[in-house]
Amino acid sequence: MKRFFFGLLTIALLLGGGLGITGQAQAAQKMNIRLAHVVNEQDGFHIAALKFKEIVEERTNGAVTVALFPNAQLGDERTLLEGMQMGTVDMGIITNGPVANFVEEIAVFELPFLFPTPEAAYGVLDGPIGRELLDNLERVNLKGLAYAERGFRNLTNSVRPVITPDDLAGLKIRVMENPVYIDTFTTLGANAVPMAWTEALTAMRQRTIDGQENPVNVIHSFKLNEQQAHLSMTRHTYAPAIFVMGLAKWRGLSPEVQEIFLEAAQAAAEHERRVNAEMEAGQLQELADAGMQIVMEPDTAAFQAKVAPVYTKYGERFGAYLQRILDAIQ
């Protein structure tokens, strides 16, 4: 009898210990994730961030919460990436250009006039080429989850309409701190001025730069028509944006939560793409109604011809990735 009760006691202790361990594991996955970006609450980045938050919190039954920090509250994009590497920032939605300062080959997406349509870009980004480039971020202690979008970039300025590359001569144009953008606009004849977006907003107000280049959603959400009288729909570059985490933070997630994060980031990215496409026509109309002069059909062929030296310079550097992309979109 004693042996019987001893056996029951042993089983109870083992079960109690097992339940305790399980409870600790569950508690360990209760966390708050700080997700940061540099633009305002009307921007596509925030739309993507809200969708990511919604999916993660629903799929984890509230065990994982996501706090959003828009408007560069935690720093500019380079600062956010460095914070993720050091573990002081959990994750962010970051424009591809600044990410390329950490993993150079991902700048292949920044080559001018590479993607003819959004669908062509999505096919590459969501396929093996895009995933391989995201995985390369692990070399620098970052984890790429999915590609949202900044979108097709267009040119604004406060001086004159831009129809051909000759119209860019001498204009001081803010570009991202990325060699491909600097070389593209220098080749086009502009004075390319690399700077963080937060600094660019001040520079436009103070008229220390003449213009900038960004998708319509950014031009609209930041009311750039108040400083920039002219918009040219050059669609010169398709710019992805990346849901990215610090690698140490990613490795601290359970496999189940990692899977939820990957699926949530992809779903949020696709949601943002759809919203951007639906909103662009209305945003352009509002900009025009506010007095912005819009060149809907600049001389795209002339711009493409002018940037040929950029492909000569970077073709060898990006090598196989560039050729794989060209093969995929043909």
Structural domains of the chain in order of their starting residue, each with its CATH number: 30-329 (3.40.190.170)
Question: Cα(181)–Cα(309) distance, rounded to whole angstroms?
Answer: 13
Q: Per DSSP, what are the bridge partners of residue 92?
A: 36, 244
Q: How confident is the model at residue 178 (pLDDT cuts 50, 70, 90)?
A: confident
Three-class DSSP category at 143? strand
**pLDDT tens digits, 297-316:** 999 999 999 999 999 998 88
Q: Are 56 and 264 in contact (CB under 8 A)?
A: yes
Question: pLDDT category, 12, cuts 50, 70, 90?
Answer: very low
- For residues 233 and 255, the answer to whether their CB atoms sit within 8 Å is no
Q: State the pLDDT at residue 20.
A: 32
Distance CA 116, CA 111 (A): 12
Instruction: Identify whether the C-beta of residue 66 lies closer than 8 Å to the C-beta of residue 52.
Output: yes
Residue 117 one-letter amino acid: T
Whole-number percent of the chain with pLDDT over 90: 84
Burial class (CB in 10 A: 0-12, 13-18, 19+), 177: middle
**Closest to 227 measured CA to CA, from 209, 250, 204, 247:** 204
Reported as a pLDDT band with limits 50, 70 and 90, residue 177 is confident
Average the pLDDT over 86-90 and give the result.
97
DSSP 177: S
The reply to whether the predicted model has a pTM over 0.75 is yes
Six-digit token string for 50: 């809200």
Looking at the chain, list the stretches that DSSP marks H as alpha helix, in order from N- to C-terminal side: 2-28, 44-59, 77-86, 96-99, 118-125, 128-135, 179-187, 197-205, 216-221, 247-251, 255-289, 300-306, 308-329
Q: What are the Cα distances from residue 106, in Å, to 132, 259, 293? A: 10, 23, 34
Mean pLDDT of the chain: 90
Q: How many Cα atoms sit within 13 Å of 279 on the Cβ side? A: 20
